[in-house]
Structure 1
C-alpha cells in the first residue's frame, strides 16, 4: 500500500470477528456426515477443510458483524472483486442492466464469474451488462435464508462448465431452521438522506436429527430511498468544479451558460429547460444570427439570468445578450436509485431411509429499482448510432426547426393556403423557420425496473450398496423483468406536435396533458430468461491408499436456457418511429446443454494429495468443450500446507454477443485525447476553446456476430496455508489466468485517431458517425458522435496477482475474546493483447476504460475487521482499503501512467494531480444481548465521514468511482436494529 498510511489507519481500527475466513466450511445444502465436508468446486466428501483451491467463506453472521445489510453488499466488498463489477449506483446513471448488481472476480467482467445457488446454476438477468455480458443479479438473493457464501477464487469449468473462468460465488441457503426468528432495522445518513428499512421473519418446525424432518418459511422486505446529487456536499452536488484545485489550477465551471473563473463566459448551452430560438436557413441547414429567449417576457423563469459583457457578446456571435444558467447535475442527477425488495421462501428437508436426505425449496423474489434522469431531450441523435434525419438533410445537423405554418395533425403539406402562422415561431411573420434549442421543462426522464424471480429446487442424496454415495438435484428458475420508461420524447410525435402547434413552446405549462402524453408516451417492455437444470452424480471410496481412500465421482447434467429480450426502442419502422436516448438493445435465443463430468481424489500419502477432474459440455448452438483440472496439496508438517491447481475453462458467447441488435455505450472524450490540429479549428475570438470541444461522451455501437466462438481460459494457482496454532492462520495464494479468443468489439481507438488525423469516417472495420456542426465554425471538422463495429474473437487477456488472508482468535480472559481477520488482493497484471501484438496494460489505471466505465483496476484492495466479544455484547470495526490509480487508460490512446486522462479546465490545464487518491472507509457495529431471545445492534457506517476521492474521469458516477466509493458517498450513516428468536 502506498506511503504507509493504510497500515497506520487500519491499525487504529483494531476491534472485529473473522468475517472472511479462508477455506471452506460445510455446505449446508449438501450436508453429509459430521466428519466430512463438501465444498464449492468439488463433487467429493472431504475430511480436511484446507482445500486445494483458495476459497473464501463468509457467513450471514459475519455480514451482520460488518454491518452489511444484504448478501449483495457483502459480495461487492470482496477484495477479489474489481473493475467491471456492476453496482446499484450504476442504475442511477443509465446502465444497460439498470436495477441489477453483479460481481466481477479478478476484473475479468461479470460474465466470467459463475454465481450458484446451493451448487446449482441460476437464470441470467434478462438484460445484459453493457448490452453484451450475461450475469446473475445479486439483488435477487433471498437474504433471510442465506447460511453463508463460498467464493472459489479459481477456475471451475471442470466442475460447473461455462462462465466459471475467474471463479465461483456459491450462495448456500439454510438447511434447517427451528423456531421463530424476527429482525427489524432502519438506517439513515447523518445528513438525513438515504433512509433504509429492513424486515425479516423466518419460522421453522421439526428437528432433522430427532424427528427426521424440518420445514421453514421465510419472508423479507427491504427499502432504500433514492439519493440525489443535490443531497450531497460539494463538489459532488454541482456542475461547478471551480472549487477543485491542484497546484493553483482550479476546475471548470460546467454550469450551463456559466462563467468560469479562468476564461469568463463558457459559451452558449443547448441544455437548459428555457428555450432559445434563432432564424434557420433551409438552404444551408444552419441557423443564422443570434439566439434569443423564445419567451422574452417570461425570461429565465426559475433559472439564473446572466447578461453578457460587451466583450463576451462580441466573442460569442450566436449568444443572446442575456442567457439562462442552469446547474444540470444539481437539478436532475441521481446518485442511488430507489430500491424496494421483498421475497418469500420455503424449504422442506426430510431424512429418507437410513442415510438419505431429500429437500424441496421454493423462492420468490421481487426487486424494484427506479431513477430519474434529465429533463426530456428534444435535440439529440437517435440511439444506436443512427443520425436523425428528422431535423436535417445531408449535413446530419440535429437542429430542431419550428415551421412557419402549422396545420391539423396528418396534413401532408402545410403552407399559407391551409395553415396558420406558427404561434411558437417568432420569425413566422417574416416567413422564416426557427431553430430551437433547450429541453422540455414539462417532463423528466424516468426509468423503473421490476424483476420477479421464481425458483424451485429439489434433490435427494444418500448412500447405497458398498459405500456408494449419490446425489440428484434439479432446479427450475424463471426471471421476468418489466421495465418502464417515462418522459422520453418519441421522435415522430415530437415532429407531429411541432407541425400542428399543439405543444406550446412559448408557454410549456399551458400544453394540454393529452399532448404531453402523446409527446412522451410511456414505454413498457417485458423480458424473460428461463433455466431448467437436472444433474446427478455418484461417488465411491474405491480402495485405500497410504494417505486415505481413493475417491472417484462421475456425473451427468442437462439444462435448457433461454432469453427473450425484445428491444424497447427498435428502428423497424424507420428512424423517427422511436424514442430519443432510450436503450435500443434487444436479443433472443435458446439452447440445450448436455454435460458429463468426473473427479478423482488420491491421498497418495499422509503428506500428499492429488486431484483430477474434467467436464465435457455440448451446446445445441454448436459449441463443444472439455475442461480439465488438476490439483495437489502437500503438508510437510501439520502447520503448513502447500497447494496448487491447473485448469482449463471456457465461456460461451452470450445471445447478445452472437445476434443482438446494435448496442451503444458511451465513453468520455476529454480534451487531452483530442489533437491540437482538431482543437484549433474550434477557437473563440480570444483564442480559448469554444464549448463545442469540451469534454463529452462518444457513443460506441457494437453489433452481434453469429460466428463467434467460445472464449478459452487457462488458470494456475500456487499458494500455502500456515497454521502455527489452532487459533491463528495465514494464507498466501498466487493466481495467473490467461483467456484467449476473448470476445470484444473491434478497436475503436485506432479509428478515432485516424478520423482526427485524416477526416476519414471508415477505418479497419469501424464506421465513424459525425456529430452536428460547430455553429460558430460550420466548416471545421465535426465531433465524433458515434463509432460502429462488431464483436470478434480477437484478444488475449492475462491477469495475475496474490491473495492474502490472515485470521486469529484470542481469549483475553474468561469473558473477553478478540478476533481479527485480514483479506486483501494485490493485482500484478491485467493486460489485453490485440491481434498484431499490441498490448494494453490496465493495472493502476482507469483501464480497461471501455469495459469498466472508467472505474479502473486498483492494484490493492482489502479489508481488516476486528471484534472484541464480551459475551453478552460485542464491539466491531471493519476498515476497507482501495488503492489509488493513475489518470490514464491505454484503451483510450494513452500509455499506462502517462496521466493522459487527467481532467483539465477550459484552458487545457490539469486541475488534479496525476493520481486518484487511495481510499479508506471504516464501519463499526455494536451488539448487546438483552437476553437469550432478544438482541439489539447499531451500525455506524463510514465512521470518519471520509468521502470518495475526486475522480472526474470515471463516468459511472459524478466525480467519484462507484466501484470504490458507492457506500461512502453518503458520508457517515447510522443504522439500528433488533433480532428476536423464540
Structure 2
C-alpha cells in the first residue's frame, strides 16, 4: 500500500504475527515522508498536490495529519478484487463495519457496505468521491446511522483511496469525527484497457466473475483534453452454510467442544444443554418448516393442562422424525417437548452466509484545458446493484408482534365471557365466511377441517412455520451521479477550484414469502388455507397468505463548492499560504416503511422490519485554512469551518496542526481538532426500530426464575427454553429534539526514515465524543421488571405472552421501548503503526508494507459517571450489533518482483475477544455471554493470501490469487449476531476456506 502518511493497522494480540513483523523485520513500508506522493487524479500540475483534509496545494505529501493512500495497483497485488473490499480491510476499520455478507442476515441496510474507522461506527466516518460529498444509502444502518455505500463507485475508474485518520470536520463538516475515506477517480486515461476475472472457493462456494473495459483518447499536455468511457460487470454467487466446512454448516453442534472434552451442547454430566438438537422443539419456539398444534379451551384459549404440542400433519413435512426418550425429557427444560418432533437442520437447509450480488454500470469523463492556467471536467456515472438472498420458512407466530392481540375465535356469543383477545394464535372450532360478523358457531359455520380438536370443542393453538414456503429478499439500487468543475490559477498567483455534484439513488426492495397478518386471520376464519397439507393449496391461496411486498426508497445529494488559495507572504521556511472556501449542499432521504402499521396492527407482515424515515435539509458552510512554514524545520497549520443547517443546528469546527522536522530522517507531527455529527434522519424523525439482544437465563434474578421451578431458580441451565433461548427486543423511538454530537480529537506521531526506501510511522490518536446520540441503557428497566419494581421514567416494558407451560408465571420481557437522547461520552484511543521497505537485489525487487492498529480504549461513560469498556469484547452492541471490538487489526504484505513474474504474500490479522459485553449487563471480560458449554474466548484469526502476476507481454498480464492459502477457518463464536457460530466481521470470506481467482488484464 503506497502511503502518504502512515497509519497502520490495529492489532492487539496480533503481536504474534506482528511480532514477526516488528521484531525481525524492520523492512516494511510507509512511503517515506521525504518522497513526494503522486498527485491526486484531479490535479492540473504534477508539481503540486492536494492531500485529503486540506484545501491548499503543496509540494510535500506529508501533512500534520496522518493520511494513507491505497492505490488500486496495490489492491491488485494483494489479490483484493473490489475497492469496497480493500476499504473493509483497512487496519483502522474496526467493529461496527457493515459488510456485504452481513446483508444475508437481516441487516437493516440490506445490500450495502460501510466502513467504521476507529470503532466509532459507520456514521462517524465520512466517505467522499473526489473530495465531494455523496448521497446517503437510503436505508440507515440499524435504522439510525446514515452512511455512504462503498459499492456505489465503479472499481476500474478508481485511481486511489486516501484515508485521513484524523478529525476532519474543519474541512468537510459533519460526520468526519473518526476520519475520511476519499475515493479518487482517474483524471485521465489513454488507450484501451480491460480485465477478465473469475474465482471460486475450493469447496465450490462463492463463485465470482468480473469484466471491465475502458477506452480513452487525448493527452492533456499535448492535445489539451482527455476523454474516457468505462463499463463493468461484477457478479458473486450466494454462499450457503451447507457449502461451508463443519461446524459452520449444520445446526447439529455436537462434537465440537464442551465440558471435559465431551461434546458441544453436553453439560458436565453428558446431558444435552439448551436442548441440543432438540432446540426449538420444546416449549414453543418453533421456527422451521413444520406446524404444531395443542388443544386449548375454546372460551379462554388457554392450553389444556397436561397436553403437549403435536405435529398438525401427523408427520414431518420437513426434517427427520424423532421420538424423544426419557433421557431427553429428563432436563426440566425438555419436560414438555412433543411426543414426536422433527429434527430439521435449519442451518444446513436454509442458512445463507453471503447474498448473491450483481453489479453493472458505466462511467464517462472529459477533461480539458481552459486557457493556459485552468482545467475543466465533466464526469457522469451510473451503476445498478442487485443483492438477493433467501431465508427459511415464514413463521406462523404463536406470539404476535408488539400491540397485536389475536381474536379468540371463541364459540361463545357472550361478550362478557370472551376475552378481548389473546397473544396466542389459535385455529377455531368452527369456520365461516370472512364476512361473518361475530363468532363462528355451529349455526353459521362448519367444523374446522384444520383443527384436529374441533370435534372435542377445543381450539388448536398453532405455532411453527409454513412447510412449503421460504422467504426471499432482493434490493436493487440504481445510482446516478454527475460532477463538473473547473480549477486553475487566476491573477497569476491565486489558485481556485469550483465543483458541482449531483447524486441520486433509487432503491427497490422486494420481499416474498412473508405472512401478511390480516390475510392469515382471514384464511384461519374461513378455512380456505389447508394447514394440514400446505402443498395442496393453490398458488392463488398461497399468494394471498404471503403477498409480495415491494417498497421504494430514494436519497439525493446536490452540492456546490468553491475554494481559493494564495501565498500572502514569505516566511523563513517558505510561503505563508491562506485559503478560503464555501459550500452549499442539499441532502434528502425518502425511505417509507416496508411494514407500517398505519392501517392497523394486523395490516402488516410478520418479521419484516417496520423502519422508515423521510427528511431533507440544506447546509451552508464557510471554511478557511492557513499554512505557515515558520522555519525550515517547523510548519504550523490552522483551519476552521462553520456549518449552518436549515433544520436549525449550527457548528464551528476548528483544527490546529504542527509538523516538526528536527533532522532529515525524522518528522514529528500532531493535530488538535473539534468536530460534530449531525443527527441522522433516522435519529431525528424515523419510525420506531427494533433490534434484538440475546438474553441469558443467568442474568434473570433467581427470585423471578423460581416461578418456573425450583431447579430453574438454582440452576439457570435447567430453566425452560422460554427463559434460556430468547431475545429481548430493544425498540428505539426517534426524537426531533436531538443536538449534534460534538467531538474533540488529537493525534501525535512520527515518521522515521533511517535510510532511503525504509521508513516507519507511529501515530497516537485520542477521540472523545460528547452528547453521543444513543438509546439509554435498558438494563435498569429490565432489572426493575424482573424485580417487580416500578419501571424507570423514559422506558416502557412490554411483556411477552405467558409461557404456555407456566401460564400463571409472570411473563418474560418481549420489548423495552426508549427514546434516543444526547447522553453519553464515547472515547476511542489507540496507536497506528506502519513500515515500508523497498530494495532491488540485483534485478529482484522486494517491497514490504506493514500496517497495524492497536485500539487501547473504546468506552462509553454515562451521565452518572459509570463507564463501559468494550475493547476485546463483543460490545458495544449499540454500535457493533455484537460483532465485537478488536484490539488489534492489521496486515503485512511482501512482494518479490522478478520482472516478468511477481509474487505477493499478505498476512491478515484480527485479534480475538471474550464473549462478554458490558452493555449487556456483564462486567468487563467476565464471559457473561458465554453459553457455558464452550470456551469464553474467541481466538485471533490469521490468514495468508498469495498472488502471482505474470507479464505475458508489456501490455498483457495474467494473475492467480489464492485467498486464505492455508485454509484457516475462524474460531467458533456461538454468540455474535449476524452469522452462525463465527464472527462475520472478523472472518470475512475466510470462512469459505481456500479461494482461487484467476484473471487477465490488458492495456493497449
Report matched runs for 1:804-815 at 5 Å.
804-813=833-842, 815=843
Contact (CA 8 Å) 1:396, 1:772: kept in 2 or not? no
Q: 1:313 to 1:536 in 2, by over 3 A?
A: closer
Which residue of the partner structure matches residue 377 of structure 2? 359
1:404 corresponds, among 409, 412, 429, to 429
Which residue of the partner structure matches residue 514 of structure 1? 540
CA distance in 1, matches of 2:631, 2:594: 61
CA distance in 2, matches of 1:707, 1:462: 44
Query: CA shift at 1:669, angstroms?
Result: 1.4
1:279 aligned onto 2:284: no
Specify every segment of 5 or more residues in structure 2 that has no aligned partner in the other structure, as ranges: 1-11, 410-417
- Select between 880-889 and 640-649 the one with higher mean Cα deviation: 880-889
Contact (CA 8 Å) 1:358, 1:461: kept in 2 or not? yes
Which residue of the partner structure matches residue 630 of structure 2? 604
Which residue of the partner structure matches residue 745 of structure 1? 775
Q: 1:679 to 1:234 in 2, by over 3 A?
A: farther
Which residue of the partner structure matches residue 977 of structure 2? 955
Which residue of the partner structure matches residue 248 of structure 1? 260
1:797 corresponds, among 826, 834, 841, to 826
Report matched runs for 1:574-593 at 5 Å.
574-593=600-619
1:839 corresponds, among 835, 843, 867, to 867
Query: CA shift at 1:666, angstroms?
Result: 1.2
Deviations 1:132-188 (A, max 9, x none): 010000111211100000000000000000001000000000011111101010000
Deviations 1:428-449 (A, max 9, x none): 1222211112110121111110
Contact (CA 8 Å) 2:398, 2:425: kept in 1 or not? no
CA distance in 1, matches of 2:863, 2:168: 28
CA distance in 1, matches of 2:744, 2:797: 36
- Select between 12-21 and 198-207 the one with higher mean Cα deviation: 12-21
Q: 1:272 to 1:142 in 2, by over 3 A?
A: closer
- Give the match's secondary structure for 2:87: helix
Report matched runs for 1:763-774 at 5 Å.
763-774=792-803
Contact (CA 8 Å) 2:387, 2:476: kept in 1 or not? yes
CA distance in 1, matches of 2:166, 2:264: 45
Deviations 1:409-461 (A, max 9, x none): 32223322221111111121222211112110121111110011100000000
Query: CA shift at 1:32, angstroms?
Result: 3.5
Q: 1:319 to 1:900 in 2, by over 3 A?
A: closer
Query: CA shift at 1:723, angstroms?
Result: 1.1
Q: 1:98 to 1:806 in 2, by over 3 A?
A: same
CA distance in 2, matches of 1:263, 1:332: 20
Contact (CA 8 Å) 1:244, 1:911: kept in 2 or not? no
Which residue of the partner structure matches residue 582 of structure 2? 556
Q: 1:90 to 1:415 in 2, by over 3 A?
A: same
Contact (CA 8 Å) 1:186, 1:976: kept in 2 or not? yes
Contact (CA 8 Å) 1:19, 1:59: kept in 2 or not? no
Deviations 1:883-936 (A, max 9, x none): 111221110111112111112xxxxxx222221111101111000000012110
Contact (CA 8 Å) 1:16, 1:866: kept in 2 or not? no
Query: CA shift at 1:286, angstroms?
Result: 1.6
1:78 corresponds, among 64, 70, 90, to 90
Q: 1:736 to 1:15 in 2, by over 3 A?
A: closer
Deviations 1:611-650 (A, max 9, x none): 1100001100000111001101000111111001011100
Query: CA shift at 1:10, angstroms?
Result: 6.3
Which residue of the partner structure matches residue 8 of structure 2? none
CA distance in 2, matches of 1:368, 1:48: 42
Which residue of the partner structure matches residue 539 of structure 1? 565
- Give the match's secondary structure for 1:237: coil
Q: 1:435 to 1:8 in 2, by over 3 A?
A: same
Report matched runs for 1:883-894 at 5 Å.
883-894=911-922
Which residue of the partner structure matches residue 906 of structure 1? none
Contact (CA 8 Å) 2:300, 2:419: kept in 1 or not? no
Which residue of the partner structure matches residue 378 of structure 1? 396
1:306 aligned onto 2:322: yes
Query: CA shift at 1:15, angstroms?
Result: 14
- Select between 147-156 and 536-545 the one with higher mean Cα deviation: 536-545
- Select between 3-12 and 144-153 the one with higher mean Cα deviation: 3-12
Query: CA shift at 1:29, angstroms?
Result: 3.5
1:778 aligned onto 2:807: yes
Which residue of the partner structure matches residue 896 of structure 1? 924
CA distance in 2, matches of 1:253, 1:717: 47
Report matched runs for 1:281-296 at 5 Å.
281-288=297-304, 289-291=306-308, 293-295=310-312
- Select between 262-271 and 361-370 the one with higher mean Cα deviation: 262-271
2:471 corresponds, among 445, 464, 481, to 445
- Select between 366-375 and 627-636 the one with higher mean Cα deviation: 366-375
Query: CA shift at 1:854, angstroms?
Result: 1.0
CA distance in 2, matches of 1:225, 1:19: 36
Q: 1:602 to 1:629 in 2, by over 3 A?
A: same
CA distance in 1, matches of 2:200, 2:891: 24
Which residue of the partner structure matches residue 235 of structure 1? 247
Contact (CA 8 Å) 2:291, 2:313: kept in 1 or not? no
Report matched runs for 1:129-528 at 5 Å.
129-248=141-260, 253=265, 260=272, 267-268=282-283, 269-288=285-304, 289-291=306-308, 293-295=310-312, 299-310=315-326, 318-379=336-397, 385-390=402-407, 398-413=423-438, 414-528=440-554
- Give the match's secondary structure for 1:700: strand
Contact (CA 8 Å) 1:684, 1:690: kept in 2 or not? no
Q: 1:395 to 1:753 in 2, by over 3 A?
A: farther
1:826 aligned onto 2:826: no
Larger relative contact order (Cα-Cα within 8 Å, sequence gap ≥ 6): 2
- Give the match's secondary structure for 2:820: strand
Specify every segment of 5 or more residues in structure 1 that has no aligned partner in the other structure, as ranges: 904-909
CA distance in 2, matches of 1:808, 1:456: 39
Normalised by the size of structure 2, how large is the TM-score? Answer: 0.93
Query: CA shift at 1:243, angstroms?
Result: 2.1
Q: 1:507 to 1:961 in 2, by over 3 A?
A: same
- Give the match's secondary structure for 1:496: helix
Which residue of the partner structure matches residue 911 of structure 1? 933
- Select between 437-446 and 556-565 the one with higher mean Cα deviation: 437-446
Query: CA shift at 1:397, angstroms?
Result: 5.4
2:46 corresponds, among 21, 24, 34, to 34
- Give the match's secondary structure for 2:242: helix
CA distance in 2, matches of 1:703, 1:323: 40
Q: 1:278 to 1:732 in 2, by over 3 A?
A: same
CA distance in 1, matches of 2:664, 2:367: 37
Contact (CA 8 Å) 2:301, 2:408: kept in 1 or not? no
Query: CA shift at 1:196, angstroms?
Result: 0.6
Q: 1:247 to 1:308 in 2, by over 3 A?
A: closer
Query: CA shift at 1:5, angstroms?
Result: 3.4
Query: CA shift at 1:246, angstroms?
Result: 4.4
Deviations 1:305-341 (A, max 9, x none): 1113356569766443222211222221211011111
Which residue of the partner structure matches residue 707 of structure 1? 737
- Give the match's secondary structure for 1:585: coil
Which residue of the partner structure matches residue 90 of structure 1? 102
Normalised by the size of structure 1, how large is the TM-score? Answer: 0.95
CA distance in 1, matches of 2:836, 2:63: 16
CA distance in 2, matches of 1:398, 1:13: 65
CA distance in 1, matches of 2:199, 2:31: 24
- Give the match's secondary structure for 1:199: strand
Report matched runs for 1:638-787 at 5 Å.
638-683=664-709, 688-758=718-788, 760=790, 762-787=791-816
CA distance in 1, matches of 2:706, 2:260: 25
Contact (CA 8 Å) 2:876, 2:885: kept in 1 or not? yes
Which residue of the partner structure matches residue 907 of structure 1? none
Which residue of the partner structure matches residue 971 of structure 1? 993
Query: CA shift at 1:565, angstroms?
Result: 0.7
